[in-house]
Chains A and B, each alone.
Chain A
Amino acid sequence: MSGEPLIELRDLRYTYLAGTPKASEALRGVSLRIGEGERVAIVGPTRSGKSTLVAALVHLLRLGRGQVFYRGEDIAGPGYDRAALRREIGVVFQQPETQIVEDVVGADVAFGPTAAGLSAEETRRRVRESLDAVGLPYERFRLRYVHALSGGQRRRVALAGVLAMRTPVLVLDEPAAGLDPRGRRELLGLLRRLLSGRSLTLIVCSASLEGAALLCDRAVVLDAGRVVMDGALREVLEEADRLAALDVTLPEAAALARELRPVFPGLPAGVLDGEELEAEILKRLGAA
């Protein structure tokens, strides 16, 4: 990464219910730099601090200690325009069905742009573009009731609502959790297509590297509120045992590679699909 990072987290600390007997430390000093256009997976088990980190990033909670810089500016600083920050970082929360505010699909996607003061014409353009992009064609879906959609479709509506804000940074918190294999494949395929044409900076939070591995090229691993690994995705996957001990779901190929290591010592776990794993195995069998 060269020059100034787009996002810099400096020693983030946060304790829920601080000062009470139920106090629990969610972040214990997280520092992280994310450059423009990076695709970063933030993974870790339940309560490792992922969601708290997202909340801190968009200033939904007041940090105990530490600072968040966006384009070099402290977002908690006096006079910082936090409304403008919302137009920079779009967040699709876990179970985004819950962030849908309108009954009708088109109206929900239009909510953000309208609230941001965009013209009716510009809003309509963005609603069309976003719904088309998430595979819910505008003409067919704009007047549909949200409650009559499937879970996977609702998730896409929520995603479209965030895309319509055209933020340069997109944060996805557990984008595929709870979807069936077909729904997950469709959503991840869609996200990949979406990303391929844009210079978005992407942050994916998940307890699973399965989907994140398809979208990201860097992985940051959190455990108990601290960064315990940070590197290129394949390098992090190589530490498959450590990830498994943290209850992080590995991509299926990496998980299988890990289980085959007793037969093929040194078999790389940094494989992203069955074909790569097959090639590695054939190489080793050929050498035997």
Chain B
Amino acid sequence: MIEAQNLSFSYRTGEEDAVHALRGVGLRLEPGEFVALIGHNGSGKSTLVRLLVAVLHPTGGELRVDGIPVRPGNELEVRRRISVVFQNPDDQLIMNRVADDVAFGPENLGLEREEIAARVGFALRALGLEEISEHLVEELSPGQKQRVAIAGALAMRPRFLVLDEPTSLLPAPVARRLILTLRELNRREGTGVIHVTHSMSEAALFDRVVVLDGGRVLMDGSPAQVFRRSDQLREAGLDVPLAVELAGRLRARGLPLGDGVLDAASLREALAGLRGSRAEACGP
């Protein structure tokens, strides 16, 4: 479990030009949650990610991972539970061959050979990389590279995977497939996923959406609950998915669409229902 209580962080604390990146964040993530963390640049997302993997330490309040406080001296204990994947896989991939790269972390934990092989096999399968496990990393597409980076993080068998904008450099269809793979992993293995993104249409694929703005939690709820507050989202510099916006516009024109529209699929359903009832009303 991840617990943040009144969590604050300032860069250059105490100095005149201190930057208060997080200003009292309260957050509780249960094991196995599938969460999107969104906010525009400067909202505090990346600072929160760095705190979660103990690259930074809180300057105020508290952050605990499975009860272990994030503070100097606890870094390794924290990172044993949380693995992070960054935006650009090229920053994170080290070895030449896919399987070797995935094995890099477990090898450095000093695990037995069989255990390493088992973890690598598991991670490669989970990300759909078995067929290219012998390929050279440099020959892969950006989407494949990102999968290798995630497999490497997963091979550490963390409680939570923290993905810091892993899709921002990928085409939308590739990003979507990657998230569906993570969903599958989350369901089957119970690995918690915290996915940092700018994209609301990606956020719609998660169980829970946490919106950061100005270093605070602006919203925290299901995608439906969050998307309902579209005006506030726009004020925070975020887009509402077009399907949600369009449903709102059609409702404003008097079409009874309900407020369950989150994405293209639910809009399609709502429109199909509407169309069916109209056809009935008109008769043959």
Do B141 and A47 touch (CB < 8 A)? yes
User: B241 contacts which chain A residues (CB < 8 A)?
Assistant: 252
A122 within 8 A of B: no
Report A93 CB to chain B, min CB distance, Å.
15
Q: Which of A157-203 contact B (CB under 8 A)?
A: 177-178, 180-183
Do B243 and A256 touch (CB < 8 A)? yes
Total contacting residues, chain B, CB less than 8 A: 38
Do B41 and A182 touch (CB < 8 A)? yes
Contact A274 to B245, CB < 8 A, known contacts A46-B142, A178-B87: yes
Q: Which of A47-64 contact B (CB under 8 A)?
A: 47
Q: Which of B258-274 contact A (CB under 8 A)?
A: 264-265, 267-268, 271-272, 274
Q: Which of B131-169 contact A (CB under 8 A)?
A: 141-143, 168-169
CA distance A46 to B134 in the complex (A): 21
1/0 per position for B248-284, CB-CB distance to A under 8 A? Answer: 0110010100000000110110011011001100100
Report A287 CB to chain B, min CB distance, Å.
10
Give the residue name and chain of the A residue nearest to B168 (CB): A178
Do B265 and A274 touch (CB < 8 A)? no
Picked from B171, B237, B268, the residue with its CB within 8 Å of the CB of A181 is B237
Q: Tell me what chain B mostly uses at the interface: helix, strand, loop, or mixed.
A: helix
Do B171 and A248 touch (CB < 8 A)? yes
Count: A-B pairs, CB below 8 Å: 93
Do B171 and A256 touch (CB < 8 A)? no
B40 within 8 A of A: yes
Q: Which of A73-81, A125-133, A134-142, A275-283 contacts B (4 or more CB under 8 A)?
A: A275-283
Do B264 and A259 touch (CB < 8 A)? yes
Give the residue name and chain of the A residue nearest to B270 (CB): A263
Picked from A178, A249, A253, the residue with its CB within 8 Å of the CB of B172 is A249
User: A263 contacts which chain B residues (CB < 8 A)?
Assistant: 268, 271-272, 275
Report A99 CB to chain B, min CB distance, Å.
18
Report B209 CB to chain A, min CB distance, Å.
15
Total contacting residues, chain A, CB less than 8 A: 36
Give the interface of B toward A (CB within 8 A). Answer: 40-41, 87, 141-143, 168-169, 171-174, 198-199, 201, 237-239, 241-243, 245-246, 249-250, 253, 255, 264-265, 267-268, 271-272, 274-275, 278-279, 282
Sample of 13 more A-B contacts, CB < 8 Å, known A180-B40, A256-B264: A46-B141, A46-B142, A177-B169, A181-B238, A182-B41, A248-B171, A253-B242, A260-B267, A263-B268, A274-B245, A281-B271, A282-B253, A285-B255
CB-defined A-B contacts under 8 Å, sample of 21: A46-B142, A152-B41, A178-B87, A180-B40, A181-B239, A182-B41, A210-B172, A244-B173, A247-B173, A249-B171, A252-B241, A255-B264, A256-B243, A259-B264, A260-B264, A263-B275, A264-B275, A274-B242, A285-B274, A288-B279, A288-B282
